[in-house]
Structure 1
């Protein structure tokens, strides 16, 4: 690979649907560094298990870039941890209210898909709840999560196409789908109206 191609590939990993501002980049950097060291993984080893280049991982750990949503998912899978483990952890007492303004939505590069984490950090390490919004032609492709991971998706508004491995399902408001998420899966809005759903991810032992 030429140097120019390598730089373009690296840019694709660190640009686009980034996860937020400088504070979020610092939090991700700190958590990534801690999680990697806890597992005694070198940058090269994590690059091999996640599919994210060593150069991109180094930039993320150095708070030099905001990683894309897709890259964060890949890193989480490579580390064997829930997605929110990279975003930060907080102590939760008997109850905690998460206001609508407490979590910034993560958007795809084209702006047609939006994801908002509804689970406070540290509330339930093995489970995460997301609100997903898809504008017309909105698409989210997800890499396989760790072995044993499952997802339950409830469509609130609009029509959503959910593909799991080689199966395709069309879901209308009120419909629910439960599936193994340790295989490739995707969500797509082929209609002309916004589609919105809740996605509950229950992680297997390896995350």
Structure 2
């Protein structure tokens, strides 16, 4: 299977859409003025699924799957998630580092030509979030494990519904991987 070509997008938004039986997210392009733009993808995750899987579609009608991520194992939160394009070719991998996440949520990430980790920037917010269910702002910085250089960041805005600004300075990072990790952060941190 051929590895898909990297699709780099330097900045985009992820906004959760309210739904009763599923988690749904709109991935939106960033306009030149920094406002939210056109729909890039629409994510759908069934709640309470036996094996975690999120599919991203080209439109909100959910007829054209374009990429997604799925857990490697059923009911094993430490197993990790493979990110794949619409044809099933691998784009990347991420998982929660449970030991490092005791006080500050931390995730590991891998993709073509890079491996790194991301952790919450603010230790106080990280600890407070464990005890209080409020829409706190939080910020994850993902850095290359070999060089320490920024890979991408995810900034949750303090709103009632979850809204994220995703900034991707490293051109090795496919926006589909960054979008998958962002949705994964939202879904995994809600537990």
Same fold (TM over 0.5): no
The structure having more radius of gyration, on CA atoms, is 1
Q: Which has the higher strand share?
A: 2
TM-score normalised by L of structure 1: 0.29
